[in-house]
Amino acid sequence: MKNQKIKAQSSEELKQSIKTIKAIVGMLIGTSVLLLGTVLYLFFVKKDSSMLPLLFVLIGSMAIVAINLRQAKRMKAELDFRQKK
* Interval 12-71: pLDDT, tens: 999 999 999 999 999 999 999 999 999 999 999 999 889 889 999 999 999 999 999 999
47: left (phi over 0), alpha (psi -120 to 50) or beta: left
Q: Helices (DSSP H) in 1-85: which residue ranges?
A: 2-8, 11-44, 54-84
Measured between alpha carbons, how far is 34 from 55 in angstroms, rounded to an integer?
12
**What's the pTM value of the predicted model, to 2 decimals?**
0.84
The separation between CA 9 and the C-alpha centre of its own chain, rounded to angstroms, equals 21
User: Distances in Å between the alpha carbon of 75 and those of 2, 9, 39?
Assistant: 10, 10, 35
In this structure, what DSSP letter does residue 8 have? Answer: H
Q: Which amino acid is at 31?
A: T
Where exactly are the structural domains of the chain?
A: 8-84
